Structure 1
Amino acid sequence: MKTVIKTLVFTLALVFSHTSNAQKFSDLDPSPMDAATYPSNYKISDKAIKVIYSRPQLKGRDVAKLAPNYEVWRTGANEATEITFYKPVTFGDVKVKAGTYTLFTIPNDKEWTVILSSDINVWGAYTYKQDNDVARIKVPVAQGKDILEAFSITFEESKSGADMYMGWGTLRVKVPFTL
């Protein structure tokens, strides 16, 4: 009898522990989150800048439809893109303290306005407030030869610090940071 009770208790414990620990994991996001850093070399742990953003895909659509001209854009998909400076930088002619900021953009055919905002942890650009701008600059738009299906951000070293490149389709935008 003791063996039957022990077996029953063990079986019930096994059943309930299995169902209580079952997890529901979501599928892969259609616009997966990514990060870009400067320096980009993974062997260098002392980073100056890190950008966390989601990467929307064109899927036959036009960049201008997904990031409309003259409208504040979250600079990616899902949550607004966040940029972290691990040391002070100069953005345009504004000295920006180390910290995390939201990176908004206003696309245009010839130039983009790139905005650093103190308003962080926001979804999209729906709650964007110009009063929270820390700095903004205008940068020219260029055209690349290759087509980028997914919105992409990367960094390259420059004479004064680092240039952040944003690309999507054939569109290319260079954003300079002085370190």
Structure 2
Amino acid sequence: MNKINSLILVFAMVIFGSFSAMAQIQAPALSPAASVSQIVGFTKISIDYSSPAVKGRKIFGEIEKYDVTWRAGANAQTIIEFSTPVSIGGKTLRAGKYSIFMTPAESGDWTVHLNSKAASVFAYMKEGKIDEEAVAKDDAIALKGTTERGGNTERLQYHISAEDNKIAKVTMAWEGVKVSFMIDTLVDQKMEQFKSQF
């Protein structure tokens, strides 16, 4: 009898342990973390973001309103980092981290904001939405990104292409939109600085 009771106890512990382990399993994230990086010239460019899916919804114009600044991803802020100084839209940006925000447009090109504080997106929340004036105040640069419409990208993605190994092209693609901007990694200037040291 003791043997049978012991077997029942062991069996119950195994079953209970299995249920406990199953209870600790978490469902996959709805907007999983993603990252992309590319060395262009002497500069490593990295982007960390969360990647939401369309899931049959109308994203731009409904969930993300036109002419309202958006965090260009999901969950936390989208961060781009440069290992050396770069030039974007004719303006030199120091090495470091920047938050990416975008302002969607129904027609024409979207506005891309690179925010110098790389602060949490929640630092810019006001009455449940992003405070556009606060974002603009901290912009290192705001420029028009080249915007293409058509096709469908189910899950938000960022791409970095090396172009001629001097100029990088960063593209955000989601739903039926692609927004791109160019980054000059200042290879020629850095080569001149290097030569001038000898």
Q: Give the alignment's Cα RMSD to 1 decimal.
A: 2.4
Deviation (angstroms), 1:170: 2.1
1:54-73 deviations in Å (ceiling 9; x for gaps): 01111111121232211110
**What is the SS of the residue equivalent to 2:121?**
coil
Deviation (angstroms), 1:94: 1.0
Deviation (angstroms), 1:47: 5.7
**What is the SS of the residue equivalent to 2:137?**
helix
| Residues 91-170 of structure 1: pairs in structure 2 closer than 5 A | 91-109=88-106, 110-123=108-121, 126=125, 128=131, 129=134, 130-145=136-151, 147-159=152-164, 160-170=166-176
Paired with 1:54 and 1:169, the residues of 2 have a C-alpha distance of 15
Paired with 2:100 and 2:121, the residues of 1 have a C-alpha distance of 12
Deviation (angstroms), 1:36: 1.2
Deviation (angstroms), 1:25: 6.1
Number of aligned residues: 153
Deviation (angstroms), 1:158: 2.2
Paired with 1:156 and 1:140, the residues of 2 have a C-alpha distance of 15
User: Do structure 1's residue 59 and structure 2's residue 65 form an aligned pair?
Assistant: no
Paired with 1:152 and 1:107, the residues of 2 have a C-alpha distance of 16
Paired with 1:53 and 1:142, the residues of 2 have a C-alpha distance of 21
Q: Does the Cα contact within 8 Å between 1:143 and 1:170 map onto a contact in 2?
A: yes
TM-score of the aligned structures, taking structure 2 as reference length: 0.69
Segments of 5+ residues of structure 1 without an aligned counterpart are: 1-21, 41-45
Q: Which residue of 2 aligns with 1:68?
A: 65
Q: Does the Cα contact within 8 Å between 1:51 and 1:83 map onto a contact in 2?
A: yes
User: Do structure 1's residue 82 and structure 2's residue 79 form an aligned pair?
Assistant: yes
The one-letter code of the counterpart of 1:169 is E
The one-letter code of the counterpart of 2:75 is N
Q: Which residue of 1 aligns with 2:31?
A: 31
Segments of 5+ residues of structure 2 without an aligned counterpart are: 1-20, 186-198
Q: Percent identity among equivalent residues?
A: 26
Paired with 2:99 and 2:32, the residues of 1 have a C-alpha distance of 18
The one-letter code of the counterpart of 1:31 is S
Q: Does the Cα contact within 8 Å between 1:39 and 1:155 map onto a contact in 2?
A: no
Q: Which residue of 2 aligns with 1:176?
A: 182
Deviation (angstroms), 1:173: 1.2
